[in-house]
Homo-oligomer: A and B are copies of this chain.
Protein backbone atom coordinates (compact mmCIF):
# COMPACT_ATOMS: atom_id res chain seq x y z
CA UNK A 1 0.00 0.00 0.00
CA UNK A 2 1.35 3.48 -0.84
CA UNK A 3 2.21 5.67 2.14
CA UNK A 4 -0.33 8.24 3.32
CA UNK A 5 0.07 11.96 3.22
CA UNK A 6 2.10 13.80 5.78
CA UNK A 7 -0.08 16.87 5.42
CA UNK A 8 -3.78 17.13 4.59
CA UNK A 9 -4.75 17.23 0.93
CA UNK A 10 -7.82 19.06 -0.44
CA UNK A 11 -11.19 17.37 -0.09
CA UNK A 12 -13.75 16.83 -2.83
CA UNK A 13 -15.71 19.71 -1.32
CA UNK A 14 -12.62 21.94 -1.49
CA UNK A 15 -11.97 21.07 -5.11
CA UNK A 16 -15.58 21.49 -6.22
CA UNK A 17 -15.52 25.05 -4.91
CA UNK A 18 -12.17 25.85 -6.55
CA UNK A 19 -12.17 27.50 -9.98
CA UNK A 20 -10.62 25.43 -12.75
CA UNK A 21 -6.94 26.35 -12.65
CA UNK A 22 -5.23 23.65 -14.68
CA UNK A 23 -2.85 23.54 -11.72
CA UNK A 24 -1.53 20.25 -10.38
CA UNK A 25 -3.73 18.73 -7.72
CA UNK A 26 -3.89 15.59 -5.63
CA UNK A 27 -7.05 13.96 -4.35
CA UNK A 28 -7.47 11.05 -1.93
CA UNK A 29 -10.89 9.45 -2.24
CA UNK A 30 -12.94 6.36 -2.88
CA UNK A 31 -14.39 5.33 -6.21
CA UNK A 32 -18.17 5.51 -6.27
CA UNK A 33 -18.61 4.47 -9.87
CA UNK A 34 -16.48 3.78 -12.88
CA UNK A 35 -17.47 4.13 -16.51
CA UNK A 36 -15.29 3.12 -19.44
CA UNK A 37 -15.64 4.63 -22.86
CA UNK A 38 -13.07 3.76 -25.53
CA UNK A 39 -9.75 5.00 -24.17
CA UNK A 40 -11.32 7.04 -21.43
CA UNK A 41 -12.12 6.00 -17.87
CA UNK A 42 -14.51 8.20 -15.90
CA UNK A 43 -14.37 7.87 -12.13
CA UNK A 44 -16.88 9.44 -9.75
CA UNK A 45 -14.88 10.04 -6.58
CA UNK A 46 -16.15 10.66 -3.06
CA UNK A 47 -14.44 11.32 0.25
CA UNK A 48 -17.51 12.01 2.35
CA UNK A 49 -16.83 15.74 2.58
CA UNK A 50 -20.00 16.42 0.59
CA UNK A 51 -22.75 14.59 -1.25
CA UNK A 52 -21.38 15.35 -4.71
CA UNK A 53 -18.69 13.29 -6.29
CA UNK A 54 -15.99 14.81 -8.43
CA UNK A 55 -15.18 13.30 -11.77
CA UNK A 56 -11.68 12.17 -12.62
CA UNK A 57 -10.91 11.37 -16.23
CA UNK A 58 -8.18 8.97 -17.26
CA UNK A 59 -7.11 9.18 -20.86
CA UNK A 60 -5.27 5.94 -21.50
CA UNK A 61 -3.66 7.38 -24.60
CA UNK A 62 -2.00 10.13 -22.60
CA UNK A 63 1.00 8.94 -20.58
CA UNK A 64 1.59 5.39 -19.49
CA UNK A 65 -0.84 3.47 -17.31
CA UNK A 66 -0.53 0.26 -15.36
CA UNK A 67 -3.42 -1.76 -16.78
CA UNK A 68 -3.35 -4.28 -13.94
CA UNK A 69 -3.68 -1.48 -11.41
CA UNK A 70 -6.35 0.30 -13.42
CA UNK A 71 -8.38 -2.92 -13.50
CA UNK A 72 -8.66 -2.71 -9.72
CA UNK A 73 -9.90 0.88 -9.70
CA UNK A 74 -13.55 -0.02 -9.20
CA UNK A 75 -16.45 0.89 -6.95
CA UNK A 76 -15.25 1.06 -3.36
CA UNK A 77 -11.52 1.23 -4.06
CA UNK A 78 -9.45 3.77 -2.08
CA UNK A 79 -7.14 5.68 -4.38
CA UNK A 80 -5.05 8.77 -4.88
CA UNK A 81 -5.44 10.67 -8.12
CA UNK A 82 -2.77 13.02 -9.33
CA UNK A 83 -3.71 15.42 -12.08
CA UNK A 84 -4.92 18.91 -12.81
CA UNK A 85 -8.16 20.63 -11.97
CA UNK A 86 -9.78 21.56 -15.25
CA UNK A 87 -13.07 22.98 -16.45
CA UNK A 88 -15.54 20.17 -16.96
CA UNK A 89 -17.16 19.92 -20.35
CA UNK A 90 -20.06 17.99 -18.81
CA UNK A 91 -23.08 19.76 -17.44
CA UNK A 92 -23.00 18.25 -13.95
CA UNK A 93 -20.19 20.24 -12.41
CA UNK A 94 -17.83 23.09 -13.08
CA UNK A 95 -14.56 21.23 -12.59
CA UNK A 96 -13.06 17.79 -12.97
CA UNK A 97 -9.66 16.20 -12.58
CA UNK A 98 -7.68 15.28 -15.65
CA UNK A 99 -5.69 12.43 -14.18
CA UNK A 100 -2.00 12.01 -14.87
CA UNK A 101 -1.48 9.26 -12.30
CA UNK A 102 -3.36 6.93 -9.97
CA UNK A 103 -2.12 5.22 -6.80
CA UNK A 104 -4.17 2.38 -5.38
CA UNK A 105 -4.38 2.21 -1.58
CA UNK A 106 -6.85 -0.62 -1.36
CA UNK A 107 -9.16 -2.30 -3.81
CA UNK A 108 -12.69 -3.51 -3.10
CA UNK A 109 -13.07 -6.95 -4.67
CA UNK A 110 -16.14 -6.62 -6.87
CA UNK A 111 -17.31 -10.16 -6.32
CA UNK A 112 -17.86 -9.57 -2.60
CA UNK A 113 -18.11 -5.80 -2.03
CA UNK A 114 -21.67 -5.33 -0.85
CA UNK A 115 -22.12 -1.73 -2.06
CA UNK A 116 -22.47 -2.17 -5.77
CA UNK A 117 -24.12 0.51 -7.83
CA UNK A 118 -27.66 -0.80 -7.42
CA UNK A 119 -29.94 0.63 -4.75
CA UNK A 120 -30.05 -1.16 -1.43
CA UNK A 121 -32.85 -1.32 1.09
CA UNK A 122 -32.29 0.47 4.38
CA UNK A 123 -32.90 -2.89 6.09
CA UNK A 124 -30.00 -4.41 4.22
CA UNK A 125 -27.76 -1.40 4.88
CA UNK A 126 -28.49 -1.63 8.61
CA UNK A 127 -26.74 -5.00 8.56
CA UNK A 128 -23.61 -3.35 7.20
CA UNK A 129 -23.70 -0.24 9.38
CA UNK A 130 -19.90 -0.03 9.14
CA UNK A 131 -20.14 0.49 5.39
CA UNK A 132 -23.45 2.35 4.99
CA UNK A 133 -21.97 5.87 5.46
CA UNK A 134 -20.41 5.22 2.04
CA UNK A 135 -23.86 5.58 0.48
CA UNK A 136 -25.51 8.87 -0.47
CA UNK A 137 -28.29 8.62 2.11
CA UNK A 138 -26.16 7.71 5.10
CA UNK A 139 -23.41 10.12 4.17
CA UNK A 140 -26.05 12.86 4.07
CA UNK A 141 -27.48 11.74 7.42
CA UNK A 142 -24.01 11.83 8.96
CA UNK A 143 -23.32 15.32 7.68
CA UNK A 144 -26.70 16.66 8.81
CA UNK A 145 -26.29 15.00 12.20
CA UNK A 146 -22.88 16.67 12.52
CA UNK A 147 -24.22 20.09 11.48
CA UNK A 148 -27.09 19.77 13.95
CA UNK A 149 -24.75 18.78 16.78
CA UNK A 150 -22.57 21.79 16.27
CA UNK A 151 -25.59 24.08 15.82
CA UNK A 152 -26.88 22.85 19.20
CA UNK A 153 -23.66 23.84 20.90
CA UNK A 154 -23.59 27.19 19.12
CA UNK A 155 -27.17 27.96 20.05
CA UNK A 156 -26.53 27.48 23.75
CA UNK A 157 -23.02 28.92 23.85
CA UNK A 158 -24.18 32.13 22.15
CA UNK A 159 -26.84 32.49 24.84
CA UNK A 160 -24.51 32.11 27.81
CA UNK A 161 -25.35 28.48 28.61
CA UNK A 162 -22.70 26.17 30.04
CA UNK A 163 -22.35 22.62 28.74
CA UNK A 164 -22.50 20.17 31.66
CA UNK A 165 -21.55 16.49 31.49
CA UNK A 166 -24.02 14.73 33.74
CA UNK A 167 -23.23 11.18 34.85
CA UNK A 168 -24.09 8.18 32.67
CA UNK A 169 -23.79 5.64 35.48
CA UNK A 170 -26.22 6.47 38.25
CA UNK A 171 -27.28 4.99 41.55
CA UNK A 172 -30.84 6.28 41.39
CA UNK A 173 -33.47 4.33 39.51
CA UNK A 174 -35.20 7.61 38.62
CA UNK A 175 -38.18 6.22 36.74
CA UNK A 176 -38.98 3.03 38.63
CA UNK A 177 -37.62 -0.45 37.98
CA UNK A 178 -37.71 -2.17 34.64
CA UNK A 179 -36.81 0.65 32.27
CA UNK A 180 -33.13 0.87 33.19
CA UNK A 181 -30.05 -1.10 32.28
CA UNK A 182 -28.05 -2.35 35.22
CA UNK A 183 -24.29 -1.74 35.17
CA UNK A 184 -22.20 -4.27 37.03
CA UNK A 185 -18.85 -5.97 37.39
CA UNK A 186 -20.24 -8.85 39.43
CA UNK A 187 -19.76 -12.19 37.69
CA UNK A 188 -22.97 -13.37 36.03
CA UNK A 189 -22.28 -16.86 37.38
CA UNK A 190 -22.51 -17.12 41.15
CA UNK A 191 -22.46 -13.45 42.11
CA UNK A 192 -21.63 -12.90 45.79
CA UNK A 193 -24.65 -13.27 48.04
CA UNK A 194 -25.50 -11.95 51.46
CA UNK A 195 -28.56 -12.63 53.54
CA UNK A 196 -30.26 -14.41 50.68
CA UNK A 197 -29.80 -11.86 47.91
CA UNK A 198 -27.09 -10.43 45.67
CA UNK A 199 -24.40 -8.64 47.66
CA UNK A 200 -24.18 -5.33 45.82
CA UNK A 201 -21.73 -4.02 48.37
CA UNK A 202 -19.22 -6.08 46.41
CA UNK A 203 -20.21 -4.60 43.06
CA UNK A 204 -17.85 -2.01 41.54
CA UNK A 205 -19.63 0.97 43.04
CA UNK A 206 -20.65 -0.81 46.22
CA UNK A 207 -24.32 -0.55 45.27
CA UNK A 208 -26.63 -1.33 42.35
CA UNK A 209 -26.04 1.10 39.49
CA UNK A 210 -27.87 1.84 36.25
CA UNK A 211 -27.51 3.71 32.97
CA UNK A 212 -29.07 7.15 33.26
CA UNK A 213 -32.41 7.80 31.57
CA UNK A 214 -31.92 11.55 31.98
CA UNK A 215 -29.36 14.05 33.17
CA UNK A 216 -32.03 16.47 34.31
CA UNK A 217 -31.71 16.16 38.08
CA UNK A 218 -27.95 16.73 37.96
CA UNK A 219 -28.40 19.51 35.41
CA UNK A 220 -30.73 21.20 37.90
CA UNK A 221 -27.89 21.21 40.45
CA UNK A 222 -25.76 23.08 37.95
CA UNK A 223 -28.54 25.43 36.83
CA UNK A 224 -28.98 26.37 40.48
CA UNK A 225 -25.31 27.40 40.61
CA UNK A 226 -24.38 28.43 37.09
CA UNK A 227 -27.70 29.86 35.90
CA UNK A 228 -28.07 28.45 32.39
CA UNK A 229 -26.78 25.01 31.51
CA UNK A 230 -27.42 22.23 29.02
CA UNK A 231 -26.52 18.62 28.58
CA UNK A 232 -25.94 16.77 25.32
CA UNK A 233 -25.14 13.16 25.92
CA UNK A 234 -26.29 9.57 25.63
CA UNK A 235 -29.28 8.31 27.59
CA UNK A 236 -30.73 4.85 27.85
CA UNK A 237 -34.09 3.07 28.00
CA UNK A 238 -34.41 -0.66 28.48
CA UNK A 239 -37.86 -0.53 26.91
CA UNK A 240 -38.99 -3.46 24.84
CA UNK A 241 -40.24 -1.13 22.07
CA UNK A 242 -39.57 -2.44 18.63
CA UNK A 243 -40.74 0.65 16.71
CA UNK A 244 -39.36 3.15 14.22
CA UNK A 245 -39.20 5.77 17.00
CA UNK A 246 -37.39 3.96 19.83
CA UNK A 247 -33.76 3.27 20.56
CA UNK A 248 -32.29 1.71 23.69
CA UNK A 249 -29.39 4.18 23.44
CA UNK A 250 -29.97 7.67 22.12
CA UNK A 251 -28.61 11.19 22.56
CA UNK A 252 -30.55 13.78 24.43
CA UNK A 253 -30.30 17.55 24.82
CA UNK A 254 -31.50 18.95 28.14
CA UNK A 255 -31.27 22.67 28.89
CA UNK A 256 -32.03 23.80 32.42
CA UNK A 257 -32.45 27.48 33.24
CA UNK A 258 -32.63 29.28 36.55
CA UNK A 259 -35.06 32.19 36.99
CA UNK A 260 -36.99 31.06 33.93
CA UNK A 261 -40.71 30.30 34.03
CA UNK A 262 -42.74 28.14 31.69
CA UNK A 263 -43.19 30.99 29.19
CA UNK A 264 -39.47 31.64 29.04
CA UNK A 265 -39.04 27.87 28.66
CA UNK A 266 -41.47 27.75 25.73
CA UNK A 267 -39.65 30.63 24.05
CA UNK A 268 -36.37 28.80 24.51
CA UNK A 269 -37.75 25.58 23.02
CA UNK A 270 -39.25 27.39 20.04
CA UNK A 271 -36.13 29.46 19.41
CA UNK A 272 -34.03 26.34 19.73
CA UNK A 273 -35.97 24.33 17.15
CA UNK A 274 -36.07 27.25 14.74
CA UNK A 275 -32.35 27.87 15.09
CA UNK A 276 -31.40 24.25 14.46
CA UNK A 277 -33.75 23.92 11.49
CA UNK A 278 -32.71 27.17 9.85
CA UNK A 279 -29.03 26.36 10.38
CA UNK A 280 -29.43 23.00 8.66
CA UNK A 281 -31.40 24.56 5.79
CA UNK A 282 -28.63 27.11 5.39
CA UNK A 283 -25.55 24.92 5.89
CA UNK A 284 -26.66 21.59 4.45
CA UNK A 285 -28.34 22.73 1.25
CA UNK A 286 -27.04 19.91 -0.88
CA UNK A 287 -27.92 17.19 1.62
CA UNK A 288 -31.34 18.71 2.34
CA UNK A 289 -32.07 18.87 -1.39
CA UNK A 290 -31.28 15.16 -1.46
CA UNK A 291 -33.71 14.40 1.38
CA UNK A 292 -36.30 16.63 -0.26
CA UNK A 293 -36.03 14.71 -3.50
CA UNK A 294 -35.52 11.12 -2.36
CA UNK A 295 -36.66 10.70 1.23
CA UNK A 296 -39.50 13.09 2.05
CA UNK A 297 -40.91 15.15 -0.76
CA UNK A 298 -41.54 18.75 0.24
CA UNK A 299 -39.66 18.56 3.53
CA UNK A 300 -37.74 21.76 2.81
CA UNK A 301 -40.94 23.81 2.39
CA UNK A 302 -42.41 22.32 5.56
CA UNK A 303 -39.28 23.21 7.54
CA UNK A 304 -39.16 26.72 6.07
CA UNK A 305 -42.70 27.27 7.27
CA UNK A 306 -41.87 25.98 10.74
CA UNK A 307 -39.03 28.48 10.99
CA UNK A 308 -41.21 31.45 10.18
CA UNK A 309 -44.47 30.53 11.90
CA UNK A 310 -45.19 31.25 15.56
CA UNK A 311 -45.89 27.95 17.31
CA UNK A 312 -49.43 27.54 18.61
CA UNK A 313 -49.64 27.42 22.42
CA UNK A 314 -52.60 25.76 24.07
CA UNK A 315 -53.33 24.19 27.40
CA UNK A 316 -53.92 20.47 27.67
CA UNK A 317 -57.51 21.28 28.63
CA UNK A 318 -58.05 23.33 25.46
CA UNK A 319 -56.38 20.62 23.37
CA UNK A 320 -58.74 18.03 24.87
CA UNK A 321 -61.70 20.23 24.00
CA UNK A 322 -60.53 20.40 20.38
CA UNK A 323 -60.28 16.62 20.26
CA UNK A 324 -63.71 16.17 21.87
CA UNK A 325 -65.24 18.67 19.48
CA UNK A 326 -63.81 16.82 16.49
CA UNK A 327 -64.98 13.50 17.86
CA UNK A 328 -68.44 14.75 18.71
CA UNK A 329 -68.90 16.36 15.32
CA UNK A 330 -67.74 13.17 13.64
CA UNK A 331 -64.93 14.92 11.79
CA UNK A 332 -62.45 12.61 13.50
CA UNK A 333 -62.52 9.31 15.32
CA UNK A 334 -59.87 8.04 17.67
CA UNK A 335 -58.92 4.59 18.94
CA UNK A 336 -57.80 5.86 22.34
CA UNK A 337 -60.19 7.61 24.73
CA UNK A 338 -60.48 11.38 24.55
CA UNK A 339 -61.18 12.48 28.07
CA UNK A 340 -59.60 14.87 30.51
CA UNK A 341 -56.93 13.01 32.44
CA UNK A 342 -55.87 10.67 29.66
CA UNK A 343 -52.48 11.05 28.02
CA UNK A 344 -52.26 12.31 24.46
CA UNK A 345 -51.68 9.43 22.08
CA UNK A 346 -49.94 9.61 18.71
CA UNK A 347 -53.29 9.83 16.89
CA UNK A 348 -54.26 12.83 19.03
CA UNK A 349 -50.93 14.56 18.53
CA UNK A 350 -51.21 13.95 14.81
CA UNK A 351 -54.69 15.42 14.69
CA UNK A 352 -53.74 18.48 16.72
CA UNK A 353 -50.63 19.29 14.70
CA UNK A 354 -51.79 18.29 11.25
CA UNK A 355 -55.47 19.16 11.28
CA UNK A 356 -56.23 21.67 14.02
CA UNK A 357 -53.14 23.87 14.25
CA UNK A 358 -51.38 22.86 11.02
CA UNK A 359 -47.91 23.11 12.49
CA UNK A 360 -46.01 22.73 15.76
CA UNK A 361 -48.08 23.13 18.93
CA UNK A 362 -46.91 23.62 22.50
CA UNK A 363 -49.32 21.98 24.92
CA UNK A 364 -49.09 23.10 28.54
CA UNK A 365 -50.56 22.39 31.97
CA UNK A 366 -51.11 18.65 31.84
CA UNK A 367 -52.86 16.67 34.58
CA UNK A 368 -50.30 15.98 37.28
CA UNK A 369 -51.09 12.24 37.23
CA UNK A 370 -49.59 11.75 33.80
CA UNK A 371 -46.47 13.83 34.41
CA UNK A 372 -43.29 13.52 36.47
CA UNK A 373 -43.02 14.31 40.17
CA UNK A 374 -40.67 17.28 39.73
CA UNK A 375 -43.03 19.48 37.71
CA UNK A 376 -44.32 22.70 39.21
CA UNK A 377 -47.79 22.29 40.61
CA UNK A 378 -50.43 24.77 39.51
CA UNK A 379 -52.79 26.41 41.97
CA UNK A 380 -55.71 24.30 40.73
CA UNK A 381 -54.33 21.22 42.49
CA UNK A 382 -54.89 19.22 39.30
CA UNK A 383 -52.35 20.32 36.70
CA UNK A 384 -48.64 20.93 36.45
CA UNK A 385 -46.64 23.44 34.41
CA UNK A 386 -45.55 20.93 31.81
CA UNK A 387 -44.95 21.94 28.22
CA UNK A 388 -44.65 19.47 25.37
CA UNK A 389 -43.82 20.51 21.85
CA UNK A 390 -45.69 18.44 19.27
CA UNK A 391 -44.83 18.50 15.59
CA UNK A 392 -46.64 17.13 12.55
CA UNK A 393 -45.64 13.65 11.37
CA UNK A 394 -43.62 12.79 14.53
CA UNK A 395 -45.70 13.94 17.51
CA UNK A 396 -43.95 14.89 20.75
CA UNK A 397 -40.44 16.11 20.10
CA UNK A 398 -39.78 18.09 23.29
CA UNK A 399 -40.98 17.47 26.82
CA UNK A 400 -40.36 20.01 29.51
CA UNK A 401 -41.71 21.96 32.43
CA UNK A 402 -41.16 24.56 35.02
CA UNK A 403 -39.79 22.65 38.01
CA UNK A 404 -41.33 22.54 41.45
CA UNK A 405 -39.05 24.86 43.43
CA UNK A 406 -41.02 24.73 46.68
CA UNK A 407 -39.57 22.10 49.00
CA UNK A 408 -42.76 21.29 50.86
CA UNK A 409 -44.84 20.94 47.69
CA UNK A 410 -42.19 18.74 46.11
CA UNK A 411 -41.97 16.52 49.17
CA UNK A 412 -45.75 16.26 49.38
CA UNK A 413 -45.92 15.11 45.76
CA UNK A 414 -43.16 12.55 46.29
CA UNK A 415 -45.04 11.23 49.32
CA UNK A 416 -48.24 10.96 47.28
CA UNK A 417 -46.34 8.90 44.73
CA UNK A 418 -44.77 6.72 47.40
CA UNK A 419 -41.24 7.69 46.37
CA UNK A 420 -38.24 7.16 48.65
CA UNK A 421 -37.33 10.72 49.52
CA UNK A 422 -34.06 9.60 51.10
CA UNK A 423 -32.82 8.54 47.64
CA UNK A 424 -33.25 12.15 46.51
CA UNK A 425 -31.84 13.96 49.52
CA UNK A 426 -29.30 15.92 47.47
CA UNK A 427 -31.99 16.87 44.95
CA UNK A 428 -34.25 18.10 47.74
CA UNK A 429 -31.39 20.17 49.15
CA UNK A 430 -31.47 22.19 45.93
CA UNK A 431 -34.89 23.38 47.20
CA UNK A 432 -33.71 23.75 50.75
CA UNK A 433 -30.77 26.03 50.02
CA UNK A 434 -31.36 29.03 47.79
CA UNK A 435 -34.19 27.54 45.75
CA UNK A 436 -35.23 29.62 42.78
CA UNK A 437 -37.79 29.13 40.00
CA UNK A 438 -36.30 27.22 37.10
CA UNK A 439 -37.35 25.36 33.98
CA UNK A 440 -35.99 23.02 31.41
CA UNK A 441 -36.78 20.51 28.74
CA UNK A 442 -35.49 17.41 27.05
CA UNK A 443 -35.24 16.68 23.37
CA UNK A 444 -34.34 13.36 21.80
CA UNK A 445 -31.66 14.16 19.24
CA UNK A 446 -32.51 11.31 16.88
CA UNK A 447 -36.18 12.29 16.74
CA UNK A 448 -35.14 15.77 15.69
CA UNK A 449 -32.89 14.33 12.99
CA UNK A 450 -35.84 12.24 11.79
CA UNK A 451 -38.00 15.34 11.76
CA UNK A 452 -35.49 17.36 9.74
CA UNK A 453 -34.37 14.70 7.28
CA UNK A 454 -37.65 12.85 6.88
CA UNK A 455 -35.93 9.53 7.59
CA UNK A 456 -38.62 7.05 8.59
CA UNK A 457 -36.72 4.76 10.92
CA UNK A 458 -34.78 6.06 13.91
CA UNK A 459 -32.23 3.26 13.39
CA UNK A 460 -31.12 5.05 10.25
CA UNK A 461 -30.19 8.37 11.87
CA UNK A 462 -27.69 7.09 14.46
CA UNK A 463 -24.43 5.45 13.35
CA UNK A 464 -24.77 2.14 15.20
CA UNK A 465 -28.31 1.69 16.57
CA UNK A 466 -28.95 -0.28 19.78
CA UNK A 467 -32.37 -1.86 19.97
CA UNK A 468 -33.97 -4.93 21.48
CA UNK A 469 -31.84 -7.96 20.55
CA UNK A 470 -29.45 -5.85 18.51
CA UNK A 471 -26.09 -4.46 19.61
CA UNK A 472 -23.91 -5.31 16.64
CA UNK A 473 -20.66 -3.50 15.83
Chain A residues in the interface with B (C-beta under 8 A): 1-9, 11, 13, 28, 30-31, 47-49, 76-78, 80, 105-109, 112-113, 115, 128-131, 133-134, 139, 142-143, 145-146, 149-150, 153, 157, 160, 162-171, 181-186, 188-189, 191, 197-198, 200, 204-209, 211, 218, 221-222, 224-227, 233-234, 236, 238, 248-249, 251, 257-261, 263-264, 267, 402, 405-406, 426-427, 429-439, 462-464, 466, 468-473
Contact = CB atoms under 8 A, between A and B. Distances in A.
B259 A4 contact: yes
A136 B46 CA distance: 50
5 contacts: A6-B263, A109-B432, A130-B427, A182-B188, A185-B238
Nearest to A239: B204
Contacts of A30: 225, 434, 436
Contacts of A106: 405, 431, 433-436
A226 B133 contact: yes
A265 to B, nearest CB: 9
Contact of A143 (B162, B206, B263, B430): B162
Given A108-B434, A226-B139, A5 B259 contact: yes
Contacts of A434: 30-31, 76-78, 105-108, 134
A267 B238 CA distance: 42
Contacts of A139: 225-226
A115 B463 CA distance: 44
Contact of A264 (B7, B113, B263): B7
A439 B4 contact: yes
Contacts of A143: 162, 226
Contacts of A77: 434
A200 B469 CA distance: 10
A131 B186 CA distance: 32
Nearest to A12: B227
Given A181-B184, A218-B464, A207 B402 contact: no
Given A5-B259, A464-B218, A167 B426 contact: no
A130 B1 contact: no
Contacts of A168: 168, 211, 234, 236, 249
Given A30-B434, A473-B167, A8 B260 contact: yes
A225 to B, nearest CB: 4
A183 B209 CA distance: 10
B466 A167 contact: yes
Contacts of A186: 188
A143 B229 CA distance: 10
A423 to B, nearest CB: 11
A27 to B, nearest CB: 10
Contact of A209 (B200, B261, B471): B471
Contacts of A470: 205-206
A433 B76 contact: yes
Contacts of A462: 165
A2 B168 CA distance: 34
Contact of A4 (B171, B191, B264, B429): B264
A23 to B, nearest CB: 20
Contacts of A165: 145, 149, 234, 251, 462-463
Contacts of A181: 169, 183-185, 204
B130 A221 contact: yes
Interface centre among A112, A168, A191 (most CB of B within 10 A): A168
**Top 4 A-B pairs, shortest CB-CB distance:** A4-B437, A106-B435, A48-B226, A78-B436
A311 to B, nearest CB: 16
Nearest to A225: B133
Contact of A225 (B134, B249, B430, B433): B134
B225 A28 contact: no
Given A4-B261, A105-B405, A133-B221, 9 more contacts: A48-B225, A106-B431, A131-B429, A149-B165, A167-B464, A182-B185, A184-B184, A205-B471, A426-B472
